[in-house]
Amino acid sequence: MTHPGVYQIAVDGRVKDAIRIAGDFLPEADKNSINLAQKLKDEMVITVLTQGDSSSPVVQTGLASDSAEKSKVNLNQATATELEQVPGIGKAKAEAIIAHREKEGLFETVDGLTEVSGIGAKTLEKLKAYLEV
């Protein structure tokens, strides 16, 4: 971004809006390293990688000390491996979540997980602390 900083953006803003307001991508930016459609949240930090950088992109929400918020897994972006890191989600449930997401579309809320085979209300309550959309 040509003008990094703190910006006020509409409640329904997306990462693409923040990047546009900050002056767009630098020429060396890896535009594929970040999800431009991700919804913005208050106190969100967005870091765009440069081309050839092998690091993971950084999109953080909350304060640095807010580890619970930063560690949440996004249901609409997570890989099977990332989902398997969530307590209570094994390989089969991770694959079922991804299959549901690919067939039915993105989850609108974490509660939408009850539509996935094998995830009921009790399981959902245990998973809510670790997941977000």
Asked if residue 113 lies in contact with residue 104, where contact means CB atoms within 8 angstroms, the answer is: no
Residue 55 — very low, low, confident or very high, per pLDDT cuts 50/70/90? low
14, β-bridge pairs: 39
For the chain, the structural domain boundaries read 15-65, 73-132
Query: Whole-structure pTM over 0.75, yes or no?
Result: no
Chain centroid to CA 16: how far?
A: 14
CATH for 73-132, options being 1.10.150.280, 3.30.1280.10, 2.40.10.10, 1.10.4080.10: 1.10.150.280
Residue 107's nearest CA partner among 122, 86, 123, 124 is 124
* pLDDT tens-digit readout, 22-45: 899 888 888 877 888 888 887 777
